[in-house]
Amino acid sequence: MRVVIVDKAGSYDRLRIEARPDPTPGPGQVHVKVRAVGVNYADCVVRMGLYASAREYVGWPIVPGFEVAGEVAALGQGVEGLSEGDPVIAVTRFGGYTTDLLADRDQVFALPEGWSFEQGAAFPAVSLTAWFALYELAHPRPGTSALVHSAAGGVGGALLQMLKLRGCRAVGVVGGPHKVDVALALGAEAVIDKSRQDLWGEARRLAPEGYGLILDANGAETLQESYDHLGSPGKLVVYGFHTMLPRQGGRPSYPRLAVDWLRTPRFNPLNMTNQNRSVLAFNLSYLFDERHILAESMTWMLAQVAQGRLRPPPVQTFAFDRVADAHRALESGQTVGKLALIP
């Protein structure tokens, strides 16, 4: 088997492919022969050494990756409901950049009928993030006006689809004209292209009384304005800080990180109470051991897929050996949907 290993924090040159012995599944485990690996922005943050849970749970060296799709190669003792050769999706807390994955049985799910391995590998992480934001934290009611930043990305696209299922009015924010139609196709009622439009002027025009829900993974660049554009009641859900990290070069600028840390708003509970606004935040990797959440969310989402109510994001593929190119592309901010590595 081969894995992509990062032995210490750094740029794209830290992504190294290493040969390892093929795994043997233990009791309750599934050996998945990987056909596609989902690539997430969090993987880039892991490589830079800035992902806290990666340091806490693994340290260096680390194999990044949260999701794969492939075929069942072997089953450990006691595994039921699967057979060798079955096409599956598997989720993992790190370790996904591999040609062969060992996963516990409750981390493995059937690949939806008619889906490619690339689509399957691109689905879990972004969809689980969107599901947790909406169904565990925000609980928006039908008719709620929601603003979704990075709406043409993986999580943004999943949020748009799920908001539409809940009967909400979603406004998407994108960073270029080539992303507008993508966001509209995923369920946005309106799209703000911040490369050509005044983001907050348009946001106010589209929801003069403010938004009941804003979903923001940008960080210091937009958090304060996102909060200020909430209605009453209103909820801001934070799940990342992407604009604080580099768009090229692959290495963080620590002076810029320090400045952005100082620019990051501190929300006063007294003001929040008087303004009738809430701030919610999470990191999905810390929820990995909450297996009931994984089971509930994946069961619901795959049922929606089977009914044609949720679809996979558009996927751009890279050969396994071109993992550095995939990271460069993702960090550029120009991609839409998801990226996948093909062993």
DSSP sequence for 142-195:
TT-EEEESSTTBHHHHHHHHHHHHTT-EEEEEESSGGGHHHHHHTT-SEEEETT
pLDDT above 80 (res 30): yes
Q: What is the mean pLDDT of residues 54-62?
A: 96
For the chain, percent of residues with pLDDT exceeding 90 = 93
Burial of 313 (0-12, 13-18, 19+ CB in 10 A): buried
Q: What is the pTM of this model?
A: 0.96
Q: What is the mean pLDDT of residues 250-258?
A: 87
- The answer to whether 65 touches 92, Cβ cutoff 8 Å, is yes
In this structure, CATH architecture of domain 2-123+312-342: Alpha-Beta Complex (3.90)
Supply the mean pLDDT for the chain. Answer: 96
pLDDT category, 245, cuts 50, 70, 90?
A: confident
In this prediction, residue 243 carries a pLDDT of: 86
In this prediction, residue 186 carries a pLDDT of: 95
In this prediction, residue 97 carries a pLDDT of: 98
Which residues face 69 on adjacent strands?
Answer: 36, 89
Q: What is the pLDDT of residues 185-217, one digit of tens each?
A: 999 999 999 999 999 999 999 999 999 999 999
Residue ranges, comma separated, of all CATH 3.90.180.10 domains in the chain are 2-123+312-342
CA 144/CA 68 separation, integer angstroms: 34
Of 62 and 242, the one with more pLDDT: 62
For the chain, percent of residues with pLDDT exceeding 70 = 100
Residue among 136, 110, 112 nearest 237 (CA): 136
DSSP reduced 3-state for 206: helix
pLDDT above 80 (res 317): yes
Of 249 and 286, the one with more pLDDT: 286
pLDDT category, 145, cuts 50, 70, 90?
A: very high
CA 189/CA 139 separation, integer angstroms: 19
- The answer to whether 93 touches 285, Cβ cutoff 8 Å, is yes
Residue 53 tokens read as 């849970």
Residue ranges, comma separated, of all CATH 3.40.50.720 domains in the chain are 126-284
In this prediction, residue 54 carries a pLDDT of: 96
Fold of 126-284: Rossmann fold (3.40.50)
